[in-house]
Structure formats: C-alpha cells, structure tokens
Structure 1
C-alpha cells in the first residue's frame, strides 16, 4: 500500500512562469499520463474498486427506490408518505458527507469505510423487511447516512490510498459512478419492480455492501487518523439540513409559487450557512474556501453547476413520452444518455496532464454542457417523430461530455487547494457535499421551470432546457475566476 501523499504539492490553478510552459509530458516517464491499467493493476485495483463502489451504491440508491416505491406502496401502504422517500434519503446523505473528515479523524480510512458500509447494509436490510412505510423511510435514512459517508470518503481517502499521479484517474473513476448510478438505479429498480420483487432489490444492495465491507481491511490503509476529531459544526449542519429539506420539499409541491418560495428560503439558508462558516472555527468546508484570493470557492461553485445540470435527466423521459409517444422503457434509456456521455468522456479527459489543457477543460466543460442543453431545447417540438427524438441522444451525450471533461480535474483542484493535510481531506470530502446538494437544488429548480409551461409539455421542455442552459453557462465564469491571476489554492 502506498504511503500518505497528502503533503505533496498539488497542481496550481494558475501556471508558474516558465520559458517552456507546454512541455511534452510523454517525454518524461515521471510526468507521462498514467494508464488505466496502472490504476486497475494488481497494486491499486482493490483500493480503486472499493472507492468506486462506495460512490456507486449511493448514486444507485438515489433513484432505485423511486422505481420500486409504486410496487412497495401497493403492498405495505403509506401513499401519503411517498414523497418523503427521496427527501429523507438526500437530506441524510448531505448530513453524512459533512461529517466525513471527523469520521476519518476518529476511525481512520479503513474504519470509516467499514462504518459507512455497515450503516448502509443495516439500512438496506431495514428497507427489505419493512412492514410499513415509516419503517421503510427509516431504512432510507440509514441508507442515506451510509451512502453519504461512502461518497465523501471516496474523495478523501484517495489521498492515501493512491499515489498522487493517479488522483485524476481515481477521481474520474469515482465521479463516473454518479453517471453510472443515474443509469443503473432506475433500470435496476424497474427490473425488480417488473417481477414484483421490490424487497429483493434492497437485499441485493445489502449484499453488495457486505462484499465491499469485507474487502476494506485488505485493500485500504488504516493510517488516516488525525488525532482528536474537531467538534461537530452543529450550526452549519442545522442550516444545511434545513436548506436541503426546504428545497427537497419544494420539489414536490404542486403550486409554482410555493415551489419558488421554498427554493428562495433554501437559498437564504445557504447564504446564512456561508456567513456563519466564514466567521466560525467549526466549519464544514475548509478555511481556505473563505480566504481572500483562494480559488477553492470558485472550484466548488463550478463543480456544483456541473452537478446541477444533471437534474434535466429526471424530466427527459417525460418529454419523450409526452412529445413523441415513447414507451416508458425507451424513454427511461433516453434520459440516461447524459449520464452515459458523462461517464465515457472521463475515460479520455483524465489523461490530460498539461497545465494549459487542464485549465481549458475546466472552463470548456460548463460551456459544452450549456450548449448541449441549449441545442436540446431548440430541438423540442410537438409532436416529435421517432427519428427526431433519436437526434436528442447524441445531443444529450454531448451535454454529459461537458461534465465528464471538467469534473475529475476540478475534483483534483479541490483536493490539492489546501496545504494542510487535514484541510486537504476536508476539502476532498466536501466534493461529495457539493455534488449531492447541487443535485437536490437542481431537481427542485427543474420542477419549478417545468411547471412554468402549464399544460403545454412543449413549453415546459423549453423552459427547463433553455433555463438550465443559461444557469450552467455560469460555470464557465466561475471556472475562469478560479484561474484568474491573484487567485491561488490555499
């Protein structure tokens, strides 16, 4: 197992002055782009797969239960509590991601991972045996806590589980799991629901957690302990939990004004959170986030805007069914095209090592995402022929490619922006917090934009896609701000 490399200097967000600023990285074996077979070779394969699996189980379970719930309600009742399934899971997930660095300090890398898989396993089994909807929701809370811990740990433990030169590859593999989960969750849930075995899906997830947990002591380092853990930032946790709850609830409200009010309240709570964190010693985000001239806040904002754009996936199947008459299964796979583009693009994007190429990818990613959503919005029509809808697929893939080309490099920039090793782990764990919260906010905002179309599904599609294109385009400016002279990591 590799030694802890957390104190090695990371890539700068602004290039150093150099008479030859674009050397050929392949000319020096030490700086040549690492190959995937190096990450997945015998030395690092176990650690890489466990890190990726931790992120994957959380991503799959975001949408897994949504596909199973109609079948579950028919058996155990609780239709009035239906909407709380997603809300409680995501709120618990956000809370857990904010406690990652403290869990690492107390239990170490392997111990924290065992805790995450154990909590997720218990939650999955509780869902599988639940006789009533309240018990199922309790299981979903436990699943969310375990999934949030595992998602944050993936980005934090990579610092000691893999050598520095494999961080970008490792981040690409883990962040690709969000895309894979967005595809696999609904598909897996739909498959089990089709055969009336909704409990079996949760048993399967428990089995996956058990297998991964058994592998943890053999493949992950134990040396992540950081002495006495910092006190829990109670006020920050309360504010973020309230914001996440407000925006999650607003996503299921029927009235557009009520949804908008819920989102506005959530934004005010987030602003209060940022103001409190800036002056408090008990923080969720590392202190570097709030320092004058630090690029870390711009990196997080760019990551958030990229994850925000994924929310359109929830409504693309609806547009396919209503505008083109696609059957539910075909429409569901249509919605997964964005995640597929995201996951596949990261395979190539993570090969980039030249500083100017990495900077361009971080800026180009949000631009490509926004352009893809813009073109998709312009392609909406009613009624739409089958071949016209088929043209949506490559456009969705291009939009997803925008996320894939920038996400792994932004993740590494966040991981290396803090000089202190403890702050570095905290900065890495916050990647999962930002991603999860952005997914929650994106889904709620998407619901508001769709409702603006009224009874016209065509207008709803245009409101959503064109509105998200404008919002995601802001990521190009935040990415540019991270590279602006005077902004530096840490």
Structure 2
C-alpha cells in the first residue's frame, strides 16, 4: 500500500511573510555572520600576515576562533533561559561587534588572535541561538523550513566568506573586511527588538539561575583544541597522539555529560531513542564538508586558477548544500523524507568519489568541470538531510522540556564535528607534505569512506521513538 501520511509543513511565503520576516532575518543573519567570518580569513590571512607579521600563528587564527565557538555554543540554553531571546541576541551581537572592531584595528598578530577569540565566543553563541530560538519565535509548522533557512546560511557563508575575503585582499583592504562585519552586526542589532520576544513575563518566579556545564565545556574545548592542532606537526607520531587525545577526551566528555545535572546534550541523547543517531548523522555529514577548506588551494595548484576564481570555485559545494536544503524542505511524505535522509551519506560519498577521480596534475577544463560536479553532489548530500535532521532533533526527545536543549545541541555537534573534520583534513593533506594531486585524491578518498559509514546512523535516525 502506498504511504499517504504527510508532515504538516508551512510555506516559504508564510515563513518569509510580514509576521515572521523579522524573526527569520535575525535567526538566519546571526548564523550568516558567524559562517561568513569563519571562512573570511581563508582569503584574508596572507595579506594580514604580510602587513602585521606573525607567520607562526597563521593556523591559530582559525584554531582560537573554533575553540571559543565550541565553548560558547554550549552556553546557549542557560543564557537563553536567563536573558530571553531578545537580550541573548543583543548580547551576542554586541560582543561580536567588539571582537570584529578589535580585528580591524589589530597592530600585531597577538592582538588579532584576541579579537578572533572574542569573535568566536560571540559567533558560537549567535550560531547556537539561530537553532535554539526557532521553536520559541516561530510556530511548529515552520520549524522544518526555518531549520533549512538557518542551516542554509552555512552554505551561503562558505560562498560569501572566501570570495569577499579575496576581493578585500586583492584591493589591499583586509582590515575593512572586519569593518564591514561591524556595520552588518549593528544593522542586525537594530532589528532584534522588533523581531524577537523578550523575557517570558508569564512566569511569576525569579529567573532561573545561570547554570553552565563547566566540566563538559572544558572537555569539549580541550578536544577541539587537540584536533585542531593535529594537522600542525610534521611528526606523524605527534599528529597521531593529538588525534588520539582528541578522541579520548570526547569519550570522557560523553561519560561526564551523561551524568551531569546540567549537560550539553539532552538526556534523551543517551537513551534508546533515535536522538543519538540524529546527532551522529549531523556530525558525520558536517565533518565531510571540511574537504572544502582545501578546494581553493588545490584549485590554484592543480588547475592554475587565480585566487579569486579559486575562492568562488570553493563555493560550489555550498551551492549544492543550499539547493538541496531548499528542495528537501518542501518534501511532505513521511516515507520520502525518511528515505532521503537515509541515503544522504551515500550521496555525499558519491560526490567525493567523483571529486577524487577528477583530480590530476595540470587539470584541464574538463577535469575541473567534473570536479565541480562532484562538489555539487557532495553539497547536495548534506543539504537534503540537514533540515529534517534538525527538526527531528528538536522534537524526538523523551521529555518536551528537553526541546530547547536538543535544539541548542545541534550547533554544538556541528562545531565539534567540524573541528574533527578540519583536523583530519589537515592530517591527510600533510601526510605527503607536497600538496599535489596525490594528496588531494587521498583527502577526497578518506572522507568518502568516512561519510559512507554514516549510512548506519542515518538509517537509524529515521526511526521514531516508542
């Protein structure tokens, strides 16, 4: 018999109509600021180092940003409960603007790292709020489309970040890239009071005490730092030790968080239901996208692309991600949705395999076009699954009260798995220390095999809790 059950999904016109346009803009805009800033420095750093020095801290510009983001993302739920959506967003935007201003005027690399740390802390908060406030600011029928809109900003950020950074660097104005971020942040802050609700005035009790899972935070930060550093050493033994340390710390984090009174992950993630598999699928898909970090580099070395062109070429994966999300968010049949989510890791693996076979020394236009097809398929793979997995994470909990925690944990899982993916990518590329076609093919092959194993988690994530 044909499956006739349907999921109640609002329309894009409803989400982007006058009643919800302000909230949608703020939720998506916060994630866009964070994602754009994360990828902005890929194109900016050569110019910045030539201006203020600090070559030995080159990798740390990304490392400190990511670690601060991971730590800050876990404070989303307690801050949201304490301050409410409006003041939580205004606080995050204010700190983000201050960090961006510090980067714009930094006279040395050390002070630039301070600014990047502040940016990362505020950006992690904004990115987490983008998911956590969906079920507060919008009706449930719009959650899937709102999740698609918010998560699509990661794809947009990977497009805007490298290309905008390349343009600013090309004209010798790398500081102005951070200055523009300050202006955009201020514009969004003006919109927040009109778009988001304030505190919950219906409660007659005092606001809840701000409780932050400190032990879990420290463990997550240490794990992200260890994995981010793993690609730096030239000694294979040191690299392996750092990766092993990162994995071991994550195992300890799971054990500690499971027993904590206030944890990063909701209690349902440790139960028999599908929530743990939903997070695992989200994490594997996100980790596999980290191959995109090296697309501009290999585009210049193997295909002879100009830096700006290579930056735009690196956005092909993001185009597939965004297109896949917009298309998949319109699905209504339950059976179609579950099958789409289940095969998503295999779609990504197929795209990465196409990319692996297309990479050669002195690539012709035809091989570059095939590489672009592989990147497009890879992005489509994560895009078709992400909005549904995000919506499931908010709803498939044992206790409805866990919904906000489950929503905030989406961003934490995304950041920590992105850190692992970035570290693994650096390790694979540095194995040959040549940065040639062999290293590029190995990178795509390893990540294709990694994400293919995610079909186990994606299949199990489709199960409904009893």
For the aligned pair, the TM-score class normalised by the smaller chain equals over 0.9
Query: What is the 5 A alignment of 1:52-201?
Result: 52-201=28-177
Q: Which residue of 2 aligns with 1:275?
A: 255
Given that 1:248 and 1:440 are in contact with CA atoms closer than 8 Å, whether structure 2 keeps it comes out as yes
State the partner residue of 1:457. 436
The C-alpha deviation readout for 1:46-85, integer Å capped at 9, x for no partner, is 1001100000000011121232222222332323322211
Q: Kindly indicate whether the alpha-carbon contact (under 8 Å) linking 2:316 and 2:376 is maintained by their aligned counterparts in 1.
A: yes
Structure 1, 325-334 or 206-215: larger mean CA deviation: 325-334
Residue deviations 1:86-132 (CA, integer Å, cap 9, x gap) = 11100011111100001001100111111111110111111112222
- The aligned counterpart of 1:441 is 420
Query: Aligned residue for 2:451?
Result: 472
Provide the residue aligned with 2:338 in structure 1. Answer: 359
The aligned residue for residue 16 of structure 1 is none
Match of 1:247 among 213, 227, 230: 227
Q: Aligned equivalents of 2:338 and 2:199: distance in 1?
A: 33
What corresponds to 1:322 in structure 2?
Answer: 301
1:167, CA displacement in angstroms? 0.6
Instruction: Give the CA RMSD over aligned residues.
Output: 1.8
Q: Does 1:261 align with 2:241?
A: yes
2:122 and 2:200 map into 1 onto residues whose CA distance is 19
Aligned partner (choices 364, 374, 393) of residue 385 of structure 1? 364
Aligned-residue offset at 1:480? 1.0
CA distance in 2, matches of 1:461, 1:260: 20
Which residue is equivalent to 1:371? Answer: 350
- 2: CA distance between counterparts of 1:145 and 1:379? 39
1:310 equivalent in structure 2? 289
Distance 1:434 1:181 in 2: 18
* Deviating more after overlay: 69-78 vs 135-144: 69-78
Alpha-carbon displacement from aligned partner over 1:255-311 (angstroms, at most 9, x marks no partner): 3332222111100000110011122223111111112x1211110010001111111
2:183 to 204, 207, 218: 207
Q: Structure 1: where are the runs of 5+ without partners? A: 1-18, 26-30
Partner of 2:465: 488
Cα distance in 2 for residues equivalent to 1:179 and 1:396: 12
Classify the secondary structure of the residue corresponding to 2:454. Answer: helix
2:317 pairs with 1:338: yes
**Count of residue pairs the alignment pairs up:** 462
CA distance in 2 between counterparts of 1:175 and 1:404 reads 9
Q: In 2 relative to 1, CA 455–128 (structure 1 residues): closer, same or farther, beyond 3 Å?
A: closer
The CA distance in 2 between the partners of 1:460 and 1:73, in whole Å, is 26
What is the SS of the residue equivalent to 2:10?
A: coil
TM-score after normalising by structure 2:
0.95
Distance 2:198 2:250 in 1: 35
Taking structure 1 as reference, are residues 20 and 230 closer, same or farther at Cα in structure 2, changes over 3 Å only?
farther
- Structure-2 change in CA distance of 1:237 and 1:381 (3 Å): same
Residues 452 and 463 of structure 1 are in contact (CA less than 8 Å); yes or no, is this contact kept in structure 2? Answer: no
Matches of 1:467 and 1:307, distance apart in 2: 15
Report the equivalent of 2:215.
235
Deviations 1:232-263 (A, max 9, x none): 21111111110011111112223333222211
Measured after TM superposition, the shift of residue 223 of structure 1 is 4.2
Distance, in Å, in 1 between the alignment partners of 2:462 and 2:266 is 19
Q: Residues 317 and 335 of structure 1 are in contact (CA less than 8 Å); yes or no, is this contact kept in structure 2?
A: yes
2:408 aligned partner: 429
* CA drift at 1:203: 1.1
Contact kept in structure 2, 1:338 and 1:396, CA below 8 Å: yes
Which moved further from structure 2: 114-123 or 322-331?
Answer: 322-331
Which residue in the other structure is 2:194 paired with?
218
**8 Å contact 1:160–1:224 — kept in the other structure?**
no
Unaligned regions of 5+ residues in structure 2, if any? none
1:398 aligns with 2:377: yes
Q: CA deviation at 1:230?
A: 5.3
The answer as to whether partners of 1:105 and 1:224 remain within 8 angstroms in 2 is no
| Contact 1:90-1:144 at 8 Å conserved across structures | yes
Q: In terms of mean alpha carbon deviation, does 90-99 or 281-290 score higher?
A: 281-290
Partner residue, 1:22: 4
